Structure 1
Amino acid sequence: MTSAPAVLRPRLRRFLATCRDGWNTVGVQTEFYGRTLASTGTAIARYRAQILILIAQMGLGVGALAVVGGTVVILGFLTLTTGALVAVQGYNSFAQVGVEALTGFASAYFNVRLIAPLTAGVGLAATIGAGATAQLGAMRINEEIDALEVMGIRPIAYLASSRLIAGLVVVVPLYCVAVIMSFVAARAGTTLGYGQSTGVYDHYFQTFLNPSDLIWSFLLAVSMALVIMLVHCYYGFNATGGPAGVGEAVGRAVRASLVSSIAVVLCVSLAVYGQSGNFNLAG
């Protein structure tokens, strides 16, 4: 009969091998992220035309995506629907305790701190990020990245760093559209849908809208865009297995970027609002 320790040894070896492979993968990803960040200066100095092309593609889209307005329209529609949900849930919840006038507070507080950044992160990962992974993956399996190396072009700077810079540039106007659409939807849903006075809504909205929260919200969106672009560029740059492998890389990149963006939101929110919350229910 086989002893128990002899049976457990293969399982232990498999477990240790899995841990080792996972740790090595983390190291490889970290190295790629460091090289991408370090090559941003090279991308700005040598590949400015490529960055401008990527900015136009990410903002307005190409092909069929350009027909609907690209990422701007998609992200605006997403935040429009979430802003309308703030109006519906906020008004009904406050109405149950007789303070439905505070719906403007809900829009100024929740849209800026959580809803708009999280919705923007999902939109960025599903549009700009997934597109970057698919493009880089297709280039990898078609050996175009190897051809760039043969021609003396630095592939990380030309492909990954340029997309990182373009994503950070595009996210600023995109997030402006996202925040505005969330505010407009919440106000329209409350005043037009539920008949609340515009003066009452605007009073509580302006009272509780903190300019510093907007600044932190923009910084949070930029941080999320940085993480999302790094993750998607890594998975696209290292895609294997033909067209099916590219599709798998896109799926894994979206999953990893969504989890990473949520972790960024958690860490930044704890750092900014963890002590006092920067909130006083007064006025």
Structure 2
Amino acid sequence: MRSALRHVSVPFVLCVALASTRLFDDVQLDLSYAHYAETPVDWLPCLLAMPCNCLVNAAYIGLGLHWLRKPRRAEETERGQYMREVFAIMAVFYAPVQWARLAALRRAPAVLDQWFTLPIFAWVPVWIGFARRGEARWRASEAAALELLSLCSYGLALAHRRGFDAALGCHVAFAVYQGVRAQRDLGDGRTRMYLLLAVLSCAGFVVLKLLDHWLARYWLFQRLTGHFWSKVCDVLQFHFSFCFLTTLTRRARRKTASQRE
């Protein structure tokens, strides 16, 4: 766990430091409560100004800790455990960033909220690459290069007002593509179900966020808004991705062992 924590926390601290400079002053960001359909509650402290959209971030921490504290199964290698721990720590670290964006309405946490989304999605192809190649052929340097490329891709947000959307769309498409390929080559009915649920949760995450204000016309979405439910879908997306990736890794390991015999 120390290795996973170090490999997530060092880039995290560097990104926080960069986001606190004027480097991203030209990035188009929404820095007001008007961006969200949930009505702020004036008498609550800033950490709970929009109680539903704020408190839902605790679900990321709970999910991350759940997968982080899972005991290692007999079929899970140390490196497989590392894959799981990195993804879980990413979920735990992402929660306070989103919470700070809502509480502070400042540029730095808003930049980080967007920025950290990219390497999280990029970890899915990294993990799939590990499952497909196995312990012997997987290279940590290639994983580090992909994560670095993912972090650098946020520079598109400086080049165009829709640059972040383009970068995120590419990350999502690549993760889904790699998941479908891995399912075709290594999966079974169980992993197919997990992959489908992860993709549906991802679609819900995107669509509900985009329709936040439109859905608020209906009483059902006036307190528990589209943005709130999009975060619920995001947590589910995380969870089903964990289920898919851990199960796929075990299947790939068993397949490799049977081929050696």
TM-score, normalised by the number of residues in structure 2: 0.31
Greater C-alpha radius of gyration: 1
Asked which structure has the greater RCO (Cα within 8 Å, sep 6+), the reply is 1
Task: Give the structure with the larger helix fraction.
Answer: 1
